[in-house]
């Protein structure tokens, strides 16, 4: 009996807080049928926002994947000066407010920033432009690959790598043929999380993008812009795209976890 009560409480809480709200995105987006969704989807602003969101992720995710694997290798396999600081710094993006990240980038790359005017003289604009949005997205999605790969590296140990190098394999050969194949699912899981975060980031991008309609609006920024402009069909259509990406992420996470357990 007590078990049933607890189950009911837990499921009721999840229903009210998670399931109903997310169902609401779909209900509201299709409230007036497919017409408004299709109309909003085919507007140039929506298509540009979708393209921009994917373009930013296309730079940020590979950059953080390469860094993530390197950093995890460094943290697990090597001792170096400042290791504990690096280890702590990796987690900073998890616990920091996205608005603070945006401000930090403005203070470095903005008009009165540390390197902003130097860059501006050379015709490079970072803030209110694509480079700033990429830097912002890289910042907030740094930890995922590191934190997924590091425990796998610790688990597999160094025996196989040592065997490979005894047999004459170079460092790079060992990495590509021994280490990488053993950590690949950790890397993939980290990439899924990084991609989800990169596609869905709002606060940091809202600060550094300047929210210029049709130019620096990503999908998440478009959601807010359409909502503030009382274009609810537009807001829900962009939300629908993002919610579908979120559900795809959840699905991939579960497939990968199931594979890990198998």
CB of 104 to another protein, least distance (A): 3
Q: Nearest distance from residue 47's CB to another protein, in Å?
A: 18
**Residue 10 or residue 34: which is nearer to another protein going by CB?**
10
Closest to another protein by CB, 183 or 206:
206
- Residue number with CB closer to another protein (54 or 103): 103
Contact 224, 209 (CB under 8 A): no
Q: Per residue, what are the HEC states of 218-230? A: CHHHHHHHHHHCC
Separation of alpha carbons 106 and 133, rounded Å: 11
The CB-of-84 to another protein minimum distance in angstroms stands at 9
Q: Cβ 244 to another protein, closest distance in Å?
A: 11
Among residues 29, 10, 31, 12, the alpha carbon closest in space to that of 20 is found at 12
Contact between 102 and 203 (Cβ < 8 Å): yes
Residue closer to another protein (CB basis): 96 or 156: 96
Closer to another protein at the Cβ: 58 or 115? 115
- The two most distant CA atoms of the chain are separated, in Å, by 72
Least distance in angstroms from the C-beta of 35 to another protein: 20
Nearest Cα residue to 66 out of 169, 142, 172, 139: 142
Q: Can you tell me whether residue 126 is helix, strand or coil?
A: coil
Rounded to whole angstroms, the Cα distance separating 102 from 135 reads 10
Nearer to another protein, 9 or 229 (CB): 9
The residue among 119 and 199 lying less far from another protein, judged by its C-beta, is 199
Please check whether residue 86 is in contact with residue 74, taking contact to mean a CB–CB distance below 8 angstroms.
Answer: yes
Contacts of 77 (CB under 8 A, 6+ apart): 153, 158
Least Å distance, CB 158 to another protein, is 15
Please, are residues 50 and 219 in contact by the beta-carbon 8 Å criterion? yes
Q: Which residue has the tokens 């740094």?
A: 142
State how far the Cα of 100 lies from the Cα of 134, in Å rounded to an integer: 16
Nearest approach, Cβ of residue 220 and another protein (Å): 5
């Amino acid at each position: 009996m007590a078990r049933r009560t607890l189950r009911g409480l837990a499921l009721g809480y999840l229903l009210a807080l998670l399931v109903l709200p997310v169902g609401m995105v779909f209900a509201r987006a299709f409230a007036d049928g497919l017409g408004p969704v299709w109309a909003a989807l085919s507007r140039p602003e929506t298509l540009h926002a979708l393209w921009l969101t994917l373009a930013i992720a296309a730079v940020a995710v590979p950059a953080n994947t390469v860094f993530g694997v390197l950093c995890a290798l460094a943290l697990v396999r090597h001792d170096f000066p400042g290791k504990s600081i690096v280890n702590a710094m990796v987690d900073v993006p998890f616990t920091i407010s996205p608005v603070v990240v945006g401000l930090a980038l403005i203070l470095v790359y903005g008009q009165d920033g540390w390197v902003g005017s130097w860059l501006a003289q050379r015709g490079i604009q970072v803030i209110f432009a694509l480079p700033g949005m990429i830097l912002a997205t890289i910042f907030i999605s740094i930890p995922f690959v590191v934190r997924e790969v590091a425990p796998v590296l610790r688990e597999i140990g160094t025996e196989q790598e040592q065997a490979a190098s005894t047999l004459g394999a170079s460092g790079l050969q060992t990495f590509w043929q021994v280490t990488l194949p053993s950590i690949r699912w950790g890397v993939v899981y980290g990439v899924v999380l990084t991609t989800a975060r990169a596609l869905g980031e709002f606060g940091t991008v809202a600060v550094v993008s300047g929210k210029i309609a049709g130019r620096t609006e990503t999908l998440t920024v478009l959601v807010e812009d359409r909502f503030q402009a009382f274009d609810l069909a537009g807001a829900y259509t962009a939300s629908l795209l993002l919610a579908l990406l979120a559900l795809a992420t959840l699905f991939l996470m579960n497939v990968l976890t199931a594979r890990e357990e198998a």
